[in-house]
A and B are shown apart, each in its own frame.
Chain A
Amino acid sequence: MTDVPVSRLRNFCIIAHIDHGKSTLADRLLQDTGTVSGRDMQDQFLDNMDLERERGITIKLQAARMNYKASDGEEYVLNLIDTPGHVDFSYEVSRSLQACEGALLVVDASQGVEAQTLANVYLALENDLEIIPVLNKIDLPGAEPEKIKHEIEQIIGLDSSKAISCSAKTGLGITEILQAVVDRIPPPTDSPGQATKALIFDSYYDSYRGVIVYFRLISGVINVKDKVLLMASKKSYELDEIGVMAPEQLRVDELHAGEVGYLAASIKAVADARVGDTITLLNSPAEDPLPGYKEAKPMVFCGLFPTDADQYPDLREALDKLQLSDAALKYEPETSSAMGFGFRCGFLGLLHMEIVQERLEREYDLDLIVTAPSVIYKVNMMDGEILMIDNPAILPDPQKRESIEEPYVRMEIYAPNDYNGTLMGLCQERRGDFLDMKYITTDRVTLIYEIPLGEVVTDFFDQMKSRTKGYASMEYHLIGYRPNDLVRLDVLINSEKADPLTTIVHRDKAYGVGKGLVEKLKELIPRQQFKIPLQASIGSRIIASESISAMRKDVLAKCYGGDISRKKKLLQKQAKGKKRMKAMGKVDVPQEAFMAVLKLDQ
């Protein structure tokens, strides 16, 4: 391991929109610096989880240390800190930016700047990071580097005369990038004699060593013999090991200010070593923690129920385990008369929710029913009490409540101006209040809306993408609660209230949603031996109804000696479908039905 003075350290990250080639570029940097040999190279080296590779997105960030001999003949240590690229994880992005002095802004040379990139660049600028614009995918026929450079200057106000054109795929421009990191990104500030402060920018759970914490040492020194104190969680630990990521973890005895490293200290859960917390030494602690720590708060909630009630203990165990590695995941037991025992879970956003669901099913082999996502409503009761409700089914009766408030976000949608009309239509359907429209270039525009989060966590993103052929991107943040005329819409299946299908909607939309919902359920719930009435109601008033006619005939005409194998396969297929359904009273309801409210043609 090269030990270099602070002046030859560079800490940087890559800011890019999904698909703009961040992971490929990271791979290429690791390869060209000889950090990872071509033989060991797996595509998208930094994306560890299978899920990340499959979806091509970064969920958990990672870091890698590279040695690079620059043109001045000196050996430099470059720490690349990977950042997640999705709006659900923006807090984690902000922490990783704080751990750096510079950033590569990677923009697809044919696609241009996107909303999420923009949001992260602004974050980086706020953190005083040196930003190096990089135009990627320059080898593609549609590349328009001059136009995109112009866009970067116009939109972000960055001098792009020194932007580097590259192709992470072919390797073009990689040396220039590495040299620019050395030349243009400042080294960390040296801080001799100051108390030890290190910023946690990531952590993950390792079943053998406990939580592995990734940190950036802002000041002071950490030695493997030290006892450390985590300032927010107020917990102290003896260190088992410290080291650097090369990119495999490599133990060292000591790390100095400016360096990026990891530690293991038999920490039981990531909740004890949260991203943003400050590490200091127990014996000579810093006076103040680093600024900006906040706990990631879930914004989206849903019910998770095992299809098979016997799997409830397994689900609990799986959630316990997942939480060890995912501090943002919240859950508490939920019991529903219709669904039995399950959990109410909180997530950062829809992607986070999908990831957790998929991990539970894939890694823990559970069959789950996931109910439609909800946000937290603030209910002002007649008696002055204020309730925070994350489950529509438990919204108190109208007589008892004074008003309901719902969370609003400020949303920026970024798209070619051809789609203005359709996007404004979408936002209006979703009860958005128009704030502003800004032309960023002559043909690209930002639409700014204030819109209820409850309308965003449905199929908003999918709708936005499909209505703009994928060209639009969006970014949002919470701005507070606002009262609205909201009602609780219940669904009755076979005359029994189906709690998990209860939703909170604006009164003006209740009729349309109710009608759409029962129609959709009629499509999604398979016929059974009896007729099934479907109703949507507000309080005791039925506002829409449908019914599923009884299954009258389900029989195989022939079954002789030669038919048995094939007929059995057909029956098994049918049984498999049924196994994935949840019995609500006498009715078998498939998973898709619980998400019906997301699939209405509004």
Chain B
Amino acid sequence: MSDFCPHSPPRSAYLHIPFCFRRCFYCDFVVVPLGDKANGAIGPGSESIKAYLKLLHREISVSEKGPPLSTVYIGGGTPSLLSSTQISDLIEHLRRHFGFQDGSELTLEVDPGSFNEQGLDLYIDCGINRFSLGAQSFDDYFLEQIGRKHRFKNLAESCFLLDQAYKKKNISSWSLDLIQNLPGQSFSSWEKQLSQAIETSAPHLSIYDLSIEPGTVFAWREKRGELDLPKEDLAMEISRATVSMLKRAGFGRYEISNFAFPGHASRHNRVYWSGAGWWGFGQGATSSPWGQRLARPKTRDLYRSWVEFQEIHGPDPSLQASNAKKIAFDEQLIVGLRSREGVDLEALAKANGCNSAQRVAYLQPLKSRWQAFVEEGLLIRSGKRFRLSDPQGFEITNQVLVEMLLWWDSLPNDAVLLPNSRVPL
């Protein structure tokens, strides 16, 4: 994997489908809850979905063209609220606009119980070859506690269908999302759930620590002291158990929260951590095709105006190749250190225009700031790269990044490494 080439055009696209049955208690994404009875092309909310998709197609139409895509990720929200025809239309639109490379990875996020065997086949017929299943938990108690609609029964069915499809080689991979350290979680209940996840034979698992985001149901419950979150020692035990159990089961940890059998890492997500660019489409979606991130408006009306504005005036400047910029060095480290490979400081500095003398002058202070982590085995220097050790280093990623930001803040204002603007701490 190359560490990032600032001027190579994006080969990935993210499509945001903001509809959900309900808003889960931990979720702070841009979503539009439609109610539990929402259902594809006919149920409540179907008109809203149709209107939204029209806008989404319009946004793709006004985008600059680019080379064929290597990965597409349709996320949300709950994209499986869309009919296969609607998914197909989106994919075909991307194919006409950009085209697809051979062997491209097309991922669809799906909710457990939101598809049957026939539905799954229709999605596959659209060209989807990877599914990400929002399992979150295998335990009905916790599913209830976190506000999910689905139950274990639905999850088991969906896993069975995906496993079948994978074994028949109808899809190239599939993944499960789980949340660990939920309120009230015990070590044994977590061990059991993780075993169940492993038993599904999913070749890819994303295991997230619960994080309490502002504005969510959990945030105000925590404020009122109602959340019985696992204490630090238990939380550590749970996280460590995850790492060792998955390792034993043959998974590799290729990012802080992502585990995969060899060859099953999500190519799309690795784009984010590599510092390469991506297209983004849809309400609330973020894009960064040419080194500048752009978050789209989070409400439908503003998003519509934004699309209409571009139809008249052309794409937003950040979406035009002629405005390509380098992604700031500090951000490349923030994302890069999350991955198993870590970062090659020298190569990154070189790509940011530093000659060898400048590389020494700028990078040496960072290396000395990081020295304590290296000595404690939290940060590993192998060859030209720095990477966090697993699990100890990954567990304190922020501490390493905070030192990096302090270094960044201390660089002289005329340092070649700096982007045009740097926000002082």
**A207 interfacial contact with B, CB 8 Å:** no
List residues of B (295-334) whose CB comes within 8 Å of A's CBs. Answer: 295, 330-331, 334
Q: How far is the CB of A251 from chain B (nearest CB, A)?
A: 44
Please determine whether B236 and A553 come into contact, CB atoms closer than 8 angstroms: yes
Q: Inside 8 A of B235's CB, which chain A residues have their CB? A: 553
Q: How far is the CB of A76 from chain B (nearest CB, A)?
A: 55
Name, among A554, A555, A564, the residue most crowded by chain B CB atoms within 10 Å (CB to CB): A555
Please determine whether B405 and A558 come into contact, CB atoms closer than 8 angstroms: no
The tally of residues in A whose CB lies under 8 Å from a CB in B reads 26
Q: For B273, give the chain A residue with the smallest CB separation.
A: A559
**B14 interfacial contact with A, CB 8 Å:** yes
List residues of A (554-571) whose CB comes within 8 Å of B's CBs. Answer: 554-562, 564-565, 567-568, 571
Select one of A557, A565, A578, A586 contacting B402, CB under 8 A.
Answer: A578
Q: For A549, give the chain B residue with the smallest CB separation.
A: B232
Please determine whether A568 and B334 come into contact, CB atoms closer than 8 angstroms: yes
Q: Inside 8 A of A567's CB, which chain B residues have their CB? A: 334
Q: For B334, give the chain A residue with the smallest CB separation.
A: A568
CA distance A145 to B282 in the complex (A): 70
Select one of B210, B239, B398 contacting A571, CB under 8 A.
Answer: B398
Interface of A is mostly: loop
Question: How would residues 282 to 299 of chain B score, 1 for a CB under 8 Å from any chain A CB and 0 otherwise?
Answer: 001111100001010000
Q: Inside 8 A of B295's CB, which chain A residues have their CB? A: 562, 565
Question: How would residues 385 to 405 of chain B score, 1 for a CB under 8 Å from any chain A CB and 0 otherwise?
Answer: 000000000111111011001
Q: Inside 8 A of B409's CB, which chain A residues have their CB? A: 575, 579
Please determine whether A557 and B376 come into contact, CB atoms closer than 8 angstroms: no
Select one of B269, B399, B425 contacting A560, CB under 8 A.
Answer: B269
**B361 interfacial contact with A, CB 8 Å:** no
Please determine whether B376 and A558 come into contact, CB atoms closer than 8 angstroms: no
Please determine whether B335 and A529 come into contact, CB atoms closer than 8 angstroms: no
Q: For A578, give the chain B residue with the smallest CB separation.
A: B402
Please determine whether B335 and A559 come into contact, CB atoms closer than 8 angstroms: yes
Q: Inside 8 A of A562's CB, which chain B residues have their CB? A: 280, 284-286, 295
Please determine whether A558 and B331 come into contact, CB atoms closer than 8 angstroms: no
Q: Inside 8 A of B334's CB, which chain A residues have their CB? A: 559, 564, 567-568, 571
Q: Inside 8 A of A529's CB, which chain B residues have their CB? A: 373, 376, 378, 396, 399
**B257 interfacial contact with A, CB 8 Å:** yes
Q: Inside 8 A of B1's CB, which chain A residues have their CB? A: none
**B249 interfacial contact with A, CB 8 Å:** no
**A572 interfacial contact with B, CB 8 Å:** yes
Question: How would residues 68 to 96 of chain A score, 1 for a CB under 8 Å from any chain B CB and 0 otherwise?
Answer: 00000000000000000000000000000
**B260 interfacial contact with A, CB 8 Å:** no
Q: Inside 8 A of A556's CB, which chain B residues have their CB? A: 211, 256, 397-398
**B423 interfacial contact with A, CB 8 Å:** yes
Please determine whether A564 and B331 come into contact, CB atoms closer than 8 angstroms: yes
User: How many contacting A-B pairs (Cβ < 8 A)?
Assistant: 99
Please determine whether B401 and A571 come into contact, CB atoms closer than 8 angstroms: yes
**A574 interfacial contact with B, CB 8 Å:** yes
Please determine whether B335 and A564 come into contact, CB atoms closer than 8 angstroms: yes
List residues of B (220-247) whose CB comes within 8 Å of A's CBs. Answer: 232, 235-236, 239
Select one of B209, B395, B401 contacting A552, CB under 8 A.
Answer: B395
Contacts A564-B331, A572-B425, A575-B406: A557 and B399 contacting too (C-beta < 8 A)? no
Q: For A554, give the chain B residue with the smallest CB separation.
A: B398
Q: How far is the CB of B109 from chain A (nearest CB, A)?
A: 12
Q: Inside 8 A of A579's CB, which chain B residues have their CB? A: 406, 409, 425
**A39 interfacial contact with B, CB 8 Å:** no
Contacts A571-B401, A579-B425: A555 and B406 contacting too (C-beta < 8 A)? no
**A55 interfacial contact with B, CB 8 Å:** no
**B360 interfacial contact with A, CB 8 Å:** no
**B148 interfacial contact with A, CB 8 Å:** no
Please determine whether B272 and A559 come into contact, CB atoms closer than 8 angstroms: yes
**B338 interfacial contact with A, CB 8 Å:** yes
Please determine whether B209 and A557 come into contact, CB atoms closer than 8 angstroms: yes
CA distance A487 to B405 in the complex (A): 43
Question: How would residues 530 to 554 of chain A score, 1 for a CB under 8 Å from any chain B CB and 0 otherwise?
Answer: 1000000000000000000001111
CA distance A130 to B198 in the complex (A): 93
Select one of B208, B232, B236, B423 contacting A572, CB under 8 A.
Answer: B423
List residues of B (198-230) whose CB comes within 8 Å of A's CBs. Answer: 208-211
Q: How far is the CB of A563 from chain B (nearest CB, A)?
A: 8
List residues of A (504-550) whose CB comes within 8 Å of B's CBs. Answer: 529-530
Q: How far is the CB of A315 from chain B (nearest CB, A)?
A: 17
Q: Inside 8 A of B398's CB, which chain A residues have their CB? A: 554-556, 571, 574
Q: How far is the CB of A567 from chain B (nearest CB, A)?
A: 7
Q: Inside 8 A of B288's CB, which chain A residues have their CB? A: 561
**A576 interfacial contact with B, CB 8 Å:** yes
Please determine whether B338 and A559 come into contact, CB atoms closer than 8 angstroms: yes
Q: How far is the CB of B135 from chain A (nearest CB, A)?
A: 16
Q: Inside 8 A of A571's CB, which chain B residues have their CB? A: 334, 398, 401-402, 405
Please determine whether B285 and A553 come into contact, CB atoms closer than 8 angstroms: no
Q: How far is the CB of A361 from chain B (nearest CB, A)?
A: 15
Q: Inside 8 A of B378's CB, which chain A residues have their CB? A: 529
Q: For B395, give the chain A residue with the smallest CB separation.
A: A553
Please determine whether A560 and B397 come into contact, CB atoms closer than 8 angstroms: no
Q: For A550, give the chain B residue with the smallest CB separation.
A: B396
Please determine whether B376 and A564 come into contact, CB atoms closer than 8 angstroms: no
CA distance A529 to B273 in the complex (A): 25
List residues of A (427-462) whose CB comes within 8 Å of B's CBs. Answer: none
Please determine whether A551 and B399 come into contact, CB atoms closer than 8 angstroms: yes
Please determine whether A561 and B402 come into contact, CB atoms closer than 8 angstroms: no
Please determine whether A575 and B286 come into contact, CB atoms closer than 8 angstroms: no
**B100 interfacial contact with A, CB 8 Å:** no
Q: Inside 8 A of B376's CB, which chain A residues have their CB? A: 529-530
CA distance A88 to B403 in the complex (A): 42
CA distance A147 to B280 in the complex (A): 75
List residues of A (565-602) whose CB comes within 8 Å of B's CBs. Answer: 565, 567-568, 571-572, 574-576, 578-579, 586
CA distance A561 to B378 in the complex (A): 26
CA distance A572 to B422 in the complex (A): 12
Please determine whether A555 and B423 come into contact, CB atoms closer than 8 angstroms: no
**B51 interfacial contact with A, CB 8 Å:** no
CA distance A557 to B373 in the complex (A): 20
Q: Inside 8 A of B211's CB, which chain A residues have their CB? A: 556-558
Q: Inside 8 A of B286's CB, which chain A residues have their CB? A: 561-562, 564-565
Q: Inside 8 A of B406's CB, which chain A residues have their CB? A: 575, 578-579
**B415 interfacial contact with A, CB 8 Å:** no
Please determine whether A558 and B257 come into contact, CB atoms closer than 8 angstroms: yes
CA distance A433 to B376 in the complex (A): 55
Q: Inside 8 A of A578's CB, which chain B residues have their CB? A: 402, 406
Question: How would residues 9 to 35 of chain B score, 1 for a CB under 8 Å from any chain A CB and 0 otherwise?
Answer: 000001000000000000000000000
CA distance A211 to B235 in the complex (A): 64
CA distance A564 to B327 in the complex (A): 12
Q: Inside 8 A of A553's CB, which chain B residues have their CB? A: 232, 235-236, 239, 395-396
Please determine whether A555 and B285 come into contact, CB atoms closer than 8 angstroms: no
Please determine whether A557 and B423 come into contact, CB atoms closer than 8 angstroms: no
Please determine whether B239 and A558 come into contact, CB atoms closer than 8 angstroms: no
Could you jot down 25 A-B contacts, CB within 8 Å? A529-B378, A529-B399, A552-B395, A553-B236, A554-B395, A555-B396, A555-B398, A556-B397, A556-B398, A557-B210, A557-B256, A557-B257, A558-B211, A558-B257, A561-B272, A561-B280, A561-B286, A564-B272, A564-B293, A564-B331, A565-B293, A571-B334, A572-B405, A572-B423, A586-B372
Interface residues in chain A, defined as those with a beta carbon under 8 Å from any beta carbon in chain B: 529-530, 551-562, 564-565, 567-568, 571-572, 574-576, 578-579, 586
| Beyond A553-B395, A557-B210, A561-B287, 20 extra complex contacts between A and B, CB < 8 Å | A553-B236, A554-B395, A555-B209, A555-B397, A557-B211, A558-B211, A558-B257, A559-B334, A559-B338, A561-B272, A562-B280, A562-B286, A565-B286, A567-B334, A571-B402, A572-B423, A575-B425, A578-B402, A578-B406, A586-B372
- The 8 lowest CB-CB distance pairs between A and B, nearest first, are A575-B405, A562-B286, A557-B209, A554-B398, A555-B397, A576-B425, A557-B208, A575-B402
